[in-house]
Amino acid sequence: MSNDSWPMNSSLSSAPGGSGIYAIRSLIDERCYVGSAVSIYNRWKGHRTSLRKGRHENPKLQNFYNKYGESCLEFVVLEFCSKIKLVEREQLFLDRLTPEFNVHPNARSPLGRKFTAEMIEKCRKAQQRRFEAERAAGIKRVSPMKGKRHSSQAKAKLRAARLGREMPEEVKRKISAALLGVPCPARGKSITEERKAQMRVCWIGRKHSEETKAKMRAAQLGKEKSPEHRAKLSEAAKMRAATPEGKAQLRAATKKSCETKRGSK
C-alpha cells in the first residue's frame, strides 16, 4: 500500500498522474471512502470542488465535510494500476476495508461504456430543459475564466496539447449539422470604437507567416463570392481608402505590387 497522501485542502501541484485506487480518509475516526480513477489527480480535484460547493454525489461524505470541514479529511493513494484492472482492484479494497462512506458495496466503472442514441437524446433534452429554466429565472451562466487570463506557461501547455491534433471529419460534420440555421451571436451588432482600437493594437506589427498565407490562399482557391459579398467588400475598401491611414496603406500596397511585378519580368 502506498503512503502517498495529501490533505483535501492541499494543492497537489506535484502529485503523480496515472490511474489507480484511492481513499478519502477521516482523520478523527476509522471511516473512509474508496474509489478508482483513470486520473487520480483529476479525481481528487473533482472531489474537492464538489465538497466545497456542497453538491457532492455522496451524501455521507458531504455530511461529514459539512460538519467537520476538509481539514479532517485526507486523500490517500492506495495503489497505482492499469485502467483495465481498476474495477477488479477497487473491489478488492472495498472487500478488505469495508469503507463506511461508500454508498455502493460493489465497484463500478463507466470506462468503455457507450450511450445509445436514445440515452443521448434524453440527456440532450434534459440539459435543454435546464437551460430554458435558467433563462426563465434570469440566471446567467458565467464562465469561470471571465476576467482572467491564461499565463504564458498555461498557454504553452494548451498549445502543446493541441499541436498536431486534427478533428475527425465525422466530428466536423456533426458540429456543422448542429450549427446549421443557428444565427451568429455577433450578427447585427456593431463593434465599439474602443474595441476596434484594441483589435488594431493587437495586430500592429504582426504578420502572417508564408505557410499561413499559403493555407489561406488554398482555402480561398476556387471559391466564388456572391454579388452581395463583392459589394460589401467594395464598400469596405472605399471606406478604408477615404481615411488618411487607409490612403497610406493603399499607396504602400500599390507600390509593393508594382515592385513585385517589375521583379518578376
Grid coordinates representing 196 are 476596434
| Residues sharing a CB contact under 8 Å with residue 80, sequence separation 6 or more, in sequence order | 2, 16, 18, 19, 20, 40
Q: What is the pLDDT of residue 11?
A: 46
CA angle in degrees (0–180, nearest 5) for 236-240-244: 170
Beta bridge partners of 35: 22
By the 8 A CB rule, do 99 and 24 touch? no
Q: Which helix (H) or strand (E) holds 174?
A: helix 169-179
Q: Which residue has the higher pLDDT, 49 or 111?
A: 49
Q: How far, in Å, CA of 228 to CA of 198, rounded? A: 29
Reported as a single tens digit per residue, the pLDDT across 61-110 is 999 999 999 899 999 899 899 888 999 999 999 999 999 999 888 887 66
| Residues sharing a CB contact under 8 Å with residue 91, sequence separation 6 or more, in sequence order | 106, 107
Average pLDDT over residues 116-130: 88
pTM for this predicted structure:
0.48
Give yes or no for residue 7 having a pLDDT over 70. Answer: no
**Coil/strand/helix, residue 129:** helix
Reported as a single tens digit per residue, the pLDDT across 20-52 is 999 999 999 989 999 999 888 889 989 999 999
Which residue has cell 484594441?
A: 198
By the 8 A CB rule, do 61 and 33 touch? yes
- Identify the sign of the CA torsion 65, 77, 91, 39: positive
Q: What is the pLDDT of residue 1?
A: 39
Q: What is the pLDDT of residue 13?
A: 46
Q: How far is CA 115 from the centre of its chain?
A: 22
Complete DSSP assignment for 17-62: -S-EEEEEEESSSS-EEEEEESSHHHHHHHHHHHHHHT--S-HHHH
Reported as a single tens digit per residue, the pLDDT across 52-61 is 989 899 999 9
Q: What is the pLDDT of residue 258?
A: 75
User: What is the set of domains in the chain, with CATH numbers?
Assistant: 5-97 (3.40.1440.10)
Average pLDDT over residues 6-24: 66
